[in-house]
Chain A
């Protein structure tokens, strides 16, 4: 019975890695999405400076999510990755393009505009692909035996495109709020003016995804809307409403840090919603976490490492953020 407990713990750890990834890489991808709107020169440099010291660590959570899935739920990894082949490869190539842009744009001033474009294109592609991946997972995957059995376009549906656009709006909002927090002057004012519109866009996207989800599978419908469970699940849209109000209020009061955290709150609630829809399946309607789980010996071996290392990682990550605290200027941190 030990194994069952560990499987739940591991599902929690993978979910944690995904949540931390979305929180941390979300805002720096968002800056890439918004980048063409910023003035060439000081504003762009400032925006880039605000994430240059931390983006690499942020992205490592994606590797932990993927690597952890392989380690703790190898069957899920083996089914999901081929099923989402096209969006995942697109995401990887997008991350390649934007990752090198951080360094290359400084190395080659003559072609800086090109690397700025690569930064934006890579960020947009990676974000959209991640959104599509979530949507495609939620709408279900064809499985036969221990393998994916669908074609290479199965992921492409109106729903997965919707989740792709939703994530674009969401990350853009996070990036926008991050810059409100970390900058001042014209760039900050520009971001204040975007934040409200992006907030409305994200709420519309959340509403659309939430309305569509219960109709994807009868299972989702009962989970969300059947009595008495609906009393619990209804708290999620209610909380979303409250946080939205707080978010817009903080914007109108010109608060600097608060909008970022309210935006994160909206993301957190969306992810809770995703968990309500999926739990305890790792591939909805097909494979549960227990069916996909690695054997006990693998799980316990990794749990020792994760138990020691994750707190250590969080500690030095926090330290690195602390080192670069405060407002960033175009000439670095003050």
Chain B
């Protein structure tokens, strides 16, 4: 039994590790793919070179991120079976078809048009190439749609029956299962998070180059576009996060109790614990800094509304409070910092100082990774917060694992850690190298890379006109 517990815990670490790594890439590609589609669309419409240059600039980075997203995603599609086979057997009849739809409607679309997007512009022409870019961008959305439907169903399962061999099988219509109660909130919250992640990454790159040369047209354009996104999306995201929180309170109250650090019930108005150290042994938050009744105000929109605490939940169903409490605060804190940058940029814009305010640029650089950290923190909040269940309230994590020997999981975990750090470490270095290059009016072709294989250079050839193409090949 101890042996078995070890195998399950190793499997949990392995899943958390592989999915955390993976999630960073689609969080970025959803945003960049849309950004590229906008850039190419603007280029088609206005014929302004700056858009074409930015397209080429970000396409290189997109290609690196996308490659890492694809390979880490293939790992995920098999992890359900290798490490969580009992879960797969039981939940397969419901989550399997949703994931199959993701493959059929999203993965193939992205992969099929990616080749044309990266290598095909002088094969198919500008308009058809724009169609390919759009197809890839739409594919990233469709993918988010299905995988979040799957995840949401595990969090708020509906429309199922349990058959005689213990499988969850569809009982209501598929519409109900796909549009399960938490799905719309989770989908919008996640897609907005992907947009913010990209906005702050793009904004940081723009700001970096503005600090070096505030007249660079590419840097100005990308910084301006990114700051518009930050100013518009950050408040929308905070509003959406609030709605998502209310939905979670309705369907997964224990998760919200852990997020808020409410060990005890508050019959007449719960305080908002800003900071503190959750102490699950003593069932209290040590060194808490509280705002009286604010939690009731936020969650129930009423100062004196009663809120139940973890004392109403059986011990064996209690999520790990410390992790959820802190990851939630990191996410929310970063969200408000994003809002701050967005408002600052609006102010700077109104003073016509958007490109001439080095402190704004430095702050934007500091916030460059904020989206990634917030996305991971949010993911941890929602996934750890639903523990100890894989299917909320119905199937325990400890009853979901594959019948594996601990050494097998330990060795594979080690292999994943080693390979991921080498591969994705190198990838991140390449992204930084690409982002450190000044966006130039004539995005160069890497000297020794063949023109259509370096990922981006075909666009360079066509966009610069025929003389360049002749020179390059």
Contacts and interface: CB of A to CB of B under 8 A. Distances in A.
B77 A66 contact: yes
Interface stretch (B163-171, B294-302, B390-398): B163-171
A57 interface: yes
A149 B403 CA distance: 8
A316 B174 CA distance: 28
Contacts, number: 266
A49 B453 contact: yes
A3 interface: no
Interface stretch (B62-70, B220-228, B369-377): B62-70
Nearest to B107: A60
Nearest to B171: A297
B453 A59 contact: no
Contact of A97 (B73, B403, B423): B423
A106 B433 CA distance: 13
A148 B104 contact: no
A295 B67 contact: no
Interface in B320-361: none
Contacts of B86: 78, 147
Interface string B421-465: 001001100100110000000000010111111110010000000
Interface string B166-198: 010110001000000000000000000000000
B78 A81 contact: yes
A75 B93 CA distance: 10
Interface string A247-287: 00000000000000000000000000000000000000000
Contacts of B120: 53, 323-324
B306 interface: no
A108 B115 contact: no
A72 B88 CA distance: 11
26 contacts: A49-B452, A52-B118, A57-B114, A64-B104, A70-B95, A70-B96, A71-B96, A74-B93, A75-B92, A88-B82, A93-B416, A96-B75, A96-B420, A99-B71, A107-B64, A107-B430, A109-B446, A146-B89, A152-B407, A295-B163, A301-B97, A301-B174, A316-B113, A323-B124, A330-B450, A331-B472
A162 to B, nearest CB: 23
Interface string A309-325: 11001001100100110
Given A62-B74, A89-B82, A108 B430 contact: yes
Given A53-B116, A85-B82, A146-B165, A332 B75 contact: no
B454 A331 contact: no
Contact of B105 (A85, A305, A324): A305
Interface hub of A72, A92, A333 (most chain B Cβ within 10 A): A92
* 8 A-B pairs closest in CB distance: A74-B92, A81-B81, A71-B96, A53-B115, A332-B452, A78-B89, A99-B71, A152-B408
B317 interface: no
A316 B446 CA distance: 30
Given A78-B81, A89-B82, A306-B104, 13 more contacts: A64-B103, A70-B99, A77-B81, A81-B82, A97-B419, A99-B74, A100-B68, A106-B446, A109-B448, A146-B165, A310-B104, A313-B104, A320-B113
Nearest to A293: B93
Interface of B: 63-64, 67-68, 70-75, 77-78, 80-82, 85-86, 88-97, 99-105, 107-109, 111-116, 118-120, 123-124, 163, 165, 167, 169-170, 174, 402-405, 407-408, 412, 415-416, 419-420, 423, 426-427, 430, 433-434, 446, 448-455, 458, 472-473
A95 interface: yes
Given A57-B112, A323-B123, A331-B452, A71 B415 contact: no
A104 B92 CA distance: 36
Contacts of B115: 52-54, 56-57, 320, 323-324
B455 to A, nearest CB: 6
Contacts of B118: 52-53
Interface residues of A, number: 73
A137 B70 CA distance: 27
A329 B95 CA distance: 45
Contacts of B402: 78, 81-82, 85, 148
A149 B86 CA distance: 13
Nearest to A52: B453
A199 to B, nearest CB: 29
A72 B80 CA distance: 15
B450 A331 contact: yes
A82 B412 CA distance: 12
Nearest to A61: B108
Contact of B88 (A77, A86, A96): A77
B430 A78 contact: no
A80 B446 contact: no
A48 B454 CA distance: 11
A332 B92 contact: no
Contact of B97 (A52, A59, A89, A298): A298
Contact of B458 (A63, A102, A305, A332): A332
A148 B97 CA distance: 23
B288 to A, nearest CB: 44
Contacts of B448: 109
Contacts of B116: 53, 320, 323
Given A67-B96, A71-B96, A330-B450, A295 B170 contact: yes
A68 interface: yes
Contacts of A148: 85, 402-403
A195 interface: no
Given A97-B419, A305-B100, A320-B115, A74 B78 contact: no
A103 interface: yes
Nearest to A306: B104
Given A71-B96, A77-B88, A100-B68, A108 B104 contact: no
A18 B402 CA distance: 24
A200 interface: no
A63 B77 contact: yes
Contacts of B108: 57, 60, 64, 309, 313, 316-317
A151 interface: yes
Given A56-B114, A60-B103, A88 B405 contact: no
Interface in A143-172: 146-149, 151-152
A76 B473 CA distance: 51
Nearest to A90: B415
A313 B112 contact: yes
Contact of B96 (A100, A298, A310): A298
A79 B120 CA distance: 42
Contacts of B63: 103
B81 A324 contact: no
A96 B425 CA distance: 13
A272 B398 CA distance: 40
A106 B96 CA distance: 37
A302 interface: yes
Contact of A86 (B71, B109, B408): B408
B97 to A, nearest CB: 4
